[in-house]
Structure 1
């Protein structure tokens, strides 16, 4: 599905981490899928799902790719069958960087990989084909990652911030985020928890709980000032002020594993959601959803 022209200024939008990230930091296992170049099976309504373990969803405003970061590696689901990108690694944490084709990830190495376990923070500058080791190899399995204007925010059981992905500061926080959502052109970060949203406006250094907001499980930025969120029951919310206030929209009638959002040409956000049966998309600001179509 082609992306609207206005979305190209955003490059990639993503939500990294799956729902289980909240309390399952030690519960993941190494990837076991076939090597790069293999394909995946078709899902419902012409959609495709390479793996039942989806940890991140990214949408490119430049290439129109819809990418899934999974237990079995990175997949492009804009083709049928889905196309594997790069080697097989368990991408437990995943987020795009400030330019198209730049990704940060974490998790566990797959079969034949020479990466340490856990992988620490790794970076790709070629769309996920190859990865370089940045820091905390053998130490951190970041299940939640977000890129901001000032750097990286990550959670491996401890909330951390880094200006470059190499040197880290520990953040005093009394919550464990299931998901971290940020935008590379902003220092506002949202953290989802069972008690509600935590919000930072300084790149993850300090946090405040959002009073009277919805309990959102997944969140993503469509624009520095616009965010979308999904409750555990699939109810979709929209924020026009970077997560300070929320308006209820539609509902996703399936289990949601990850979401991403980009601002559409009509001014409303487009929203993608990974479900067990495939990826669905909304082009009306989260009111209605339909399966994506692939080439």
Structure 2
């Protein structure tokens, strides 16, 4: 794939509507077309970013120069694949560093608290036993993973109760490919795969250096496709993380 459009990438995702790769960056949202990355929508420093469904995105962060939005933007939503954004709540108040969306709503970490909303307006505080670096939820919303310096914490009841996963690798980022399959990348670039929703992990391949963003999905052949932004490149695996190509 082509090079990165920004030095600071905060998120990577696949849009089910067009099967295109989207990058959330310090310099806004970009879509990878046949000719390379193309800017989409206004310039917003998208700190948190997640795809909830076809053309349906949630994000958080800070407006760029000339963008008439509160700072921070709070929780914002797009239903046209990032072309336009609407503010849902917490504008001028919250910059979510990480966001994840599922059938159970949107969960984010603002640097202090982990919060969940089912309607984009009202929020409930969750209490994982760690300070999260990143969050990932299964599509059905049942399982939530929080990565941390203490190892990943896991909730199997939508974030109501948590425990630190015993004997799990130290993961920096995770992404659910489906309700049971999870890709994880460690700070040293080693890639792991779980087939039981993050309860246990198997070592796979490596991307060589620390990850900046990760996303995963299941392919028709049953293997996981994993995209990792690392080393200033967008890397792809089509064999559940065993090998990666640029």
> In the TM superposition, what are the counterparts of 1:1-295 in structure 2 within 5 Å?
47-97=2-52, 99-156=53-110, 157-291=112-246
Tell me the TM-score normalised to structure 2 length: 0.95
Distance, in Å, in 2 between the alignment partners of 1:137 and 1:278 is 32
**C-alpha offsets along residues 52-76 of structure 1, whole Å, 9 cap, x if unaligned?**
1100000134412011000010001
The verdict on how the C-alpha distance between 1:94 and 1:254 changes in structure 2, with shifts beyond 3 A counting, is same
> Looking at both structures, which has the greater relative contact order when contacts are Cα pairs under 8 Å and sequence separation is at least 6?
1
SS in 1 for 2:152: strand
Distance, in Å, in 2 between the alignment partners of 1:73 and 1:176 is 27
The verdict on how the C-alpha distance between 1:201 and 1:239 changes in structure 2, with shifts beyond 3 A counting, is same
Contact 1:152 1:162 in 2 (8 A): yes
Structure showing the higher strand proportion among its residues: 2
The verdict on how the C-alpha distance between 1:78 and 1:274 changes in structure 2, with shifts beyond 3 A counting, is farther
SS in 2 for 1:212: coil
Question: Structure 2, unaligned stretches of length 5 or more?
Answer: none
Distance, in Å, in 2 between the alignment partners of 1:273 and 1:79 is 19
How many residues in Structure 1 have an aligned counterpart in Structure 2? Answer: 245
Moved more, 266-275 or 247-256: 247-256
Shift of 1:77: 2.3
Shift of 1:47: 1.8
**C-alpha offsets along residues 62-119 of structure 1, whole Å, 9 cap, x if unaligned?**
412011000010001243331000000000000111x201011001011111110111
Contact 2:51 2:101 in 1 (8 A): yes
Distance, in Å, in 1 between the alignment partners of 2:155 and 2:129 is 14
SS in 2 for 1:103: strand
SS in 2 for 1:260: strand
CA RMSD of aligned residues (A): 1.3
Shift of 1:241: 0.5
Moved more, 172-181 or 84-93: 172-181
**C-alpha offsets along residues 121-178 of structure 1, whole Å, 9 cap, x if unaligned?**
0000000000011000011000011112211111112111111121001223442111
Distance, in Å, in 2 between the alignment partners of 1:117 and 1:200 is 32
